[in-house]
Structure 1
Amino acid sequence: MAGAKRTLPVKARAASTLCLTHVLAVALGAALFVLFASVVLPSGFGRGVGDRLSRSWGAPTPPGQTGLEALSRPTPTGPDGAPLVPAPVAAGWQLGVVDYAMPDFETPLVFAAYVENGTDFYLYAQGTLVLFSGSTAPDLDVKACSAGGEHMRLADRWNNVFHCKSHRPLRRGEPLTLVYADETAAGGLAAVDSKAAFDGLVDVPSAGAPKYYTCASTQVKNTDYLADWLAYHRRLGVDHFYLYDNSANGTVGAALAPPRPDTDVLVWPWRKSQQQANSHMATLGRARCHWVLFSDVDEFVFVKGATGRGPAPLRRLLAQREAAGKQQVSLYRLEMGSSGVLRKTDAPLAETYTKRRKGKGLWLNYKSAVLLKDAIPYSRVHFFDLRVKPLGFNWAFIQQWDEMQAMVEWDWFKVWDPRGHIVHYSTKSWSEYIAKYSGDLNGMIPNIGFERFNYTVDSPPSFWPAFGGVYRDTAFRNYKRRIDKRDEPEPMLVIN
């Protein structure tokens, strides 16, 4: 309770031990990640799959009349003069039967499907690949896809996402799943349990159809910071949002009810499924979006430069990079600290958290915006493979890091890039931090000593005021204040 006597068994040593344990755990994980990729994986691992992907998808789409001139093009309209807009996402949209009493994420399950043209379909699964799911069960040796019990060709896969080819038009209502090798099953093959079936809807991108110039896609579990994130990125130039509701009971959709016309909510309650959600968006979005920004709701795009009148900053940035021949833009992510905040507030993140580190640990990974027409629809969470040079299966891309950064089609922003970066509020308040990590609730980071040192919501560690840095940085807060005063721009649409 508030004001209760703290019962830390060892004060300074406990605090330093917890910090050190956290740092060492992250460092050890990163070291093992790189070691596995460089030593355990053979040289060139995954390139065969990359070559197969390249053959499967063919050459990248030639550049059209896009780029800076797109900013001044009129909005496409129909015969009645009304703006032409992409089709909304139909209710359900082949996401499978939603069951919130889902099995553990280790259990193999096909939970969603996407049918693109009646013969090409994608399956989104869990528990088929140990390397990325954390499962202790063996990998499934997936041999084929299945529609209505009939085997279909598996064209390619990436982790728990599978691209299937049907030799006939799919029939409405038939179940869709995967087939894997099983010595105990009749014929040596067994089907993965599935909640997905073809609902009769197909989604064919057509020439001359309108697309939103800039979309944003995110997977959301709670709505605490969602409204501010949406409002800010609308003013920054995002034309349409696709929210994958990852809550345990559909709270995201309920919180936005009724959603604005620029927001689609897709029910997606499956655990450890961000990679699958992003991959799903890469197929769903091809008929609807030109650029897509993939970001979390605690990540804000900081586009340096104009904040007053003129083109929306993100829209202008992407148009400039497209005019320069770029197909993907990856922005470095700057990590903000706790600012010593103990309990969650209702204030916007940028107003609450204004302190960070100055040296090591300040920058961590990237987030990206990608031209969907040039991307292979298998997400690596932080970026996509481009059709011009697929990188291969699993961790093969680690061995190709230098090649990736040398690709002329891929724009990698650097540390303190004058064009901008992502501001990431990952730590937040102590109450949110302990709720997220003390019980391994997110399935990623283990308990690192909360119970051992008797840390509770009401008894934070002495180092918390300095956790994540003490250097005051209000640059983004001030920038966001100016952006928040802008009028929302009209949606920008382009003809494919």
Structure 2
Amino acid sequence: MQARRRHARHCRLVVAALIIVTTLLFLTGDAPGVFIDAPTRNLLVPPRRLPLSLGAVREATRADAVLLPDWEVLLLLRPNATAIAHNATCVFRGGASSPARSLGTLPSSGRYAYTCAMPEPARRHQPFHAPRISPAAVDAVHVSPQHGELAMMVRWSGRLVYDSVVLDGGDVLVFAKGVNPRQGVNRPASDVRCVYYRGGSADDVVASLPAATSAQQVFRCPPPTVDHPPAMLRVTLGLAGEEEAIPSVATYSPPARGASHKRRHKICACTMVRDVGKFLREWVSYHAAVGVERFILYDNGSEDDLSEQVRRLTAEGLDVTTLAWPWPKTQEAGFSHSAAVHREACEWMAFIDVDEFIFSPEWAASGSPSRSMLRSIVGVEAEVGQVSLGCVDFGPSGRSSHPAEGVTQGYTCRRRAVERHKSVVRVEAVDRSLVNSVHHFALREGKRSEWSRRARVNHYKFQAWEEFRVKFRRRVSAYVPDWTSRLNLQSKDRTPGLGFDPVQPPGWASKFCDLNDTLLRDVTRRWRRFES
């Protein structure tokens, strides 16, 4: 018996020693066959187990494709590839085709993007390959790609490195889903390596460097140190204890030298949008009048007239920028991207939705709007990194259709309680991890949040049913279940009395009405008369 115990103790000591040695090898970058730092150690993984992201994109002429939910395909051309802006078609293996919708150029990579539906016949040809973009007038049969011509499609449902951006100062933000799938539970940065490689094979790895931060879907990485870097590299992530890197469609390009910044704005507003064209003018015009100088829209796949509405607003002298952000359920990552890349352009950033209006009851007696109104809300001490505003939720107010005069005019009955909050953030105060809950950001050491007692957010959340039911398509937050999901049933993000299907509950038009509140409606009417 004593001999068995001594043997078991010896085995435990050996296992513990192996774990310690393996951990030290990982932290120093010397784990054989897994991570590399020196050019002479150029295998990321054994050749027989190439990850899809490295093995599938071997030729520089190929595009990347991601299979999104509901059989939607996102196609990414290589930088500087010739794009067909209008009347394009996605042609799949076997000749099946569907219209391609142009998303324009992605903000970080400069890659031109399209989306198209994957036709039923194309779903029978597995494994799935990226479609080819063709002019709509060309017969699809004559341009049908062959099996070996195009890269294999990656699935959004799995883990994926989907984007990256180079920041001022050289740091690289890498965006990846599936590494930190639970809100508030983040893998240590010491478990993550940032892997830069030239093409589609493992022996083209340029550098494997330790990540500086790991939070939600955002990973801060050092740039690769290469004497003569190519115009473009691929970038992915490697995780401790795993041989294969994460599949990736992300690219890295060295930062342009001597890039200059335009003037810095005092207050900007950032939001993620989809099909909000008819709401945009009211939201932009109001916030521009009270002090927002620049508007940044992350377009999450709009199919309405959003671009035309933006064109009209900019023609009137308003500063409205649209950035294509096609990734589903990545609102937190999009806001992290915005806080990082607009650090030099904006002093303060209001992260609010298009159905949310910042308002102070103190403005109710004013005869005209002024840009000093919002400036007074952020006129705080230097250590205050963000100002949080309570949200009051307005209901349908008896309406059965969208009010043509605008949401601030048509919805005037609201709930009494303050359920949520939104924040105006001092961008330079945001923590390096960029972690956020959509409602607020984590702040760097020495900065604090402050609750505003002067202002609030009017949230026109529960609108007429024909508008509200659109929310059933998909939520934008990575960590909030969709309306059709039976998870987190007690969450405040769910609507009381609402089921899991887009079926109008009885009495919807009169719900969420504890008190009449016409303050914002009345003051904006007065301002319009003044302007007239």
TM bucket (normalised to shorter chain) is: 0.5 to 0.7
String of CA shifts for 1:100-152, please: whole Å, max 9, x gaps.
35966532222222201463111122232221499xxx999962112233212
Which residue of structure 1 aligns with residue 123 of structure 2?
A: none
- Percent identity of equivalent pairs: 26
Which residue of structure 1 aligns with residue 286 of structure 2?
A: 232
Which residue of structure 2 aligns with residue 145 of structure 1?
A: 194
Which residue of structure 2 aligns with residue 265 of structure 1?
A: 322
Which residue of structure 2 aligns with residue 425 of structure 1?
A: 460
More deviation, 330-339/474-483: 474-483
Which residue of structure 1 aligns with residue 510 of structure 2?
A: 466
Residues in 1 aligned to 2:409 and 2:280: alpha-carbon distance in whole angstroms: 15
Provide the alpha-carbon RMSD of the alignment.
3.7
Residues in 1 aligned to 2:169 and 2:265: alpha-carbon distance in whole angstroms: 24
Residues in 1 aligned to 2:530 and 2:222: alpha-carbon distance in whole angstroms: 47
Is 1:108 the counterpart of 2:146? The answer is no
String of CA shifts for 1:306-362, please: whole Å, max 9, x gaps.
43358424433245224x75221000011111213222343310111111233xxx3
Q: Matches of residues 182-331 of structure 1 in structure 2 within 5 Å?
A: 183=242, 188-198=243-253, 200-201=255-256, 210-223=263-276, 224-249=278-303, 252-257=306-311, 260=314, 262-306=319-363, 307-308=366-367, 311-322=370-381, 325-331=383-389
Q: SS at 1:332's partner residue?
A: strand
Which residue of structure 2 aligns with residue 166 of structure 1?
A: 223
String of CA shifts for 1:216-268, please: whole Å, max 9, x gaps.
11101112311110110000110111110112558533542366161111000
Given the superposition, is the C-alpha separation of residues 279 and 179 from structure 1 closer, same or farther in structure 2, using an over 3 Å criterion? Answer: same
Residues in 2 aligned to 1:336 and 1:179: alpha-carbon distance in whole angstroms: 46
Q: SS at 1:465's partner residue?
A: helix
String of CA shifts for 1:410-430, please: whole Å, max 9, x gaps.
2113xxx3x110010111011
Q: SS at 1:293's partner residue?
A: strand
The question of whether the paired residues in 1 share the 8 Å contact of 2:181 and 2:216 is answered with no
Residues in 2 aligned to 1:281 and 1:202: alpha-carbon distance in whole angstroms: 21
String of CA shifts for 1:374-431, please: whole Å, max 9, x gaps.
1123332111111125xxxxxxxxxxxxxxxxx7x32113xxx3x1100101110112
Residues in 1 aligned to 2:354 and 2:172: alpha-carbon distance in whole angstroms: 29
Q: Matches of residues 324-473 of structure 1 in structure 2 within 5 Å?
A: 325-358=383-416, 362-376=417-431, 377-388=434-445, 409-413=448-452, 417=453, 419-437=454-472, 444-446=482-484, 460-473=504-517
Q: SS at 1:432's partner residue?
A: helix
Q: SS at 1:315's partner residue?
A: helix
Given the superposition, is the C-alpha separation of residues 314 and 158 from structure 1 closer, same or farther in structure 2, using an over 3 Å criterion? Answer: farther
Where structure 2 has 5 or more consecutive residues not aligned to the other structure, the ranges are 1-103, 117-152, 198-204, 487-494
Aligned mate of 1:179, from 238, 248, 264: 238
Higher relative contact order (CA 8 A, sep 6+): 1
- State the one-letter code of the partner of 1:243: L
Given the superposition, is the C-alpha separation of residues 203 and 447 from structure 1 closer, same or farther in structure 2, using an over 3 Å criterion? Answer: farther
The question of whether the paired residues in 2 share the 8 Å contact of 1:440 and 1:447 is answered with no
More deviation, 468-477/90-99: 90-99
Given the superposition, is the C-alpha separation of residues 471 and 204 from structure 1 closer, same or farther in structure 2, using an over 3 Å criterion? Answer: same
- State the one-letter code of the partner of 1:109: L
Given the superposition, is the C-alpha separation of residues 244 and 476 from structure 1 closer, same or farther in structure 2, using an over 3 Å criterion? Answer: same
Q: CA offset at residue 483 of structure 1?
A: 4.4
Q: CA offset at residue 279 of structure 1?
A: 0.4
The question of whether the paired residues in 2 share the 8 Å contact of 1:124 and 1:276 is answered with yes
More deviation, 144-153/166-175: 166-175
Residues in 2 aligned to 1:123 and 1:146: alpha-carbon distance in whole angstroms: 10
Q: CA offset at residue 305 of structure 1?
A: 2.3
Scaled by the length of structure 1, the TM-score of the pair is: 0.64
Q: CA offset at residue 284 of structure 1?
A: 1.2
Given the superposition, is the C-alpha separation of residues 483 and 372 from structure 1 closer, same or farther in structure 2, using an over 3 Å criterion? Answer: farther
The question of whether the paired residues in 2 share the 8 Å contact of 1:339 and 1:470 is answered with no
Given the superposition, is the C-alpha separation of residues 153 and 426 from structure 1 closer, same or farther in structure 2, using an over 3 Å criterion? Answer: same
Residues in 1 aligned to 2:236 and 2:406: alpha-carbon distance in whole angstroms: 43
String of CA shifts for 1:194-213, please: whole Å, max 9, x gaps.
2333264479788xx73101
Q: SS at 2:338's partner residue?
A: helix
